[in-house]
Every structure is written in structure tokens, then in C-alpha cells.
Amino acid sequence: MDAQALGDALAPVNATLNATSTLFLLAGFAFIRARRIDAHRKAMVGAVTASALFLVFYLIRFGLTGSHEFAGEGLARTVYLTILLTHMVLAVVVVPLVLRLLFLASRERFAEHRRLARWAYPVWLYVSVTGIVVYVLLYHVYGYR
């Protein structure tokens, strides 16, 4: 298997990891609303694990194949690039937020954790969902050059 084929094989793995992270995030939110603290903790550890694995596999895929030029044109290209740009910027922003949330939870500083999570959670959820959207548009709808 050459580098391009391996990179293309990693793309659906990454999309699956984003979807897994999304499901864990949604479950974690539902659990904390229901005051099921242990289930919330487990779901959020799952979300962190899926996101961290995504990052590792994404870097490997990028190292193998580089970036891909979106094949769509016109409005589709504008929409794709807007989603991609916001996804990339917020993906960078969310990393220190998640690390801070983990730190606060590990120190049982739950009031601070809760305040930060109100901002970090929607950003993290957006990054996970838009990662799937980018994958679908790039690999299944329009393709790349």
C-alpha cells in the first residue's frame, strides 16, 4: 500500500473518530444534566480519547498525503472553505480549553470547570461535527484534486 492509499484509508478512520467524539460529547452532556457524574466522566474521557486518537491519525494522514484541494466550485467551494476554516481555527482553540477542563476536573474545581465548559463544550462539539462534514464533502460529495 502506497502513502496515498494509506492516507485515503485513514480518512474514514478519522471521520469515525470524530463521530465517536461527537456521540461521547452528546452523551456526556445528557449525563451531566441528569446528574450522573460517573457516567459523565466516562463519556468525557471517551471524547478526549477519540479526539486525541483523531489528532494522531490526522497528523499521520497529513504527513503521508498533505492537504487536498477541494474539487467543488462556486458556492460549494465557498461553503466548504468557510466550514474548513472555522473548523481548523476552533480545533486549535479547543485544545487548551479541553486540557484546562481536564485539569479543573482532576482538582475537583467543579465550579470553574462548569463555567469553562459552558464555552468549551459547544466549540468542541462544533469541531467534532464539522470534521465529519468536511470529510463527507471532501471524500464523498465533491472529491479532491
CA distance 118 to 85: 23
With pLDDT > 90 as the criterion, what percentage of the chain qualifies? 97
What residue spans define the domains of the chain? Answer: 3-141
Instruction: Give the pLDDT confidence of 65-101 residue by residue, as tens digits.
Output: 999 999 999 999 999 999 999 999 999 999 999 999 9
Closest CA to 43 of 19, 15, 20, 17: 20
pLDDT-derived band of residue 145, with 50, 70 and 90 as boundaries?
confident
Predicted TM-score of the model (pTM): 0.94
Ramachandran class of 36: left when φ > 0, alpha when ψ lies in -120 to 50, beta otherwise: beta
Residue 131 has a pLDDT of 98
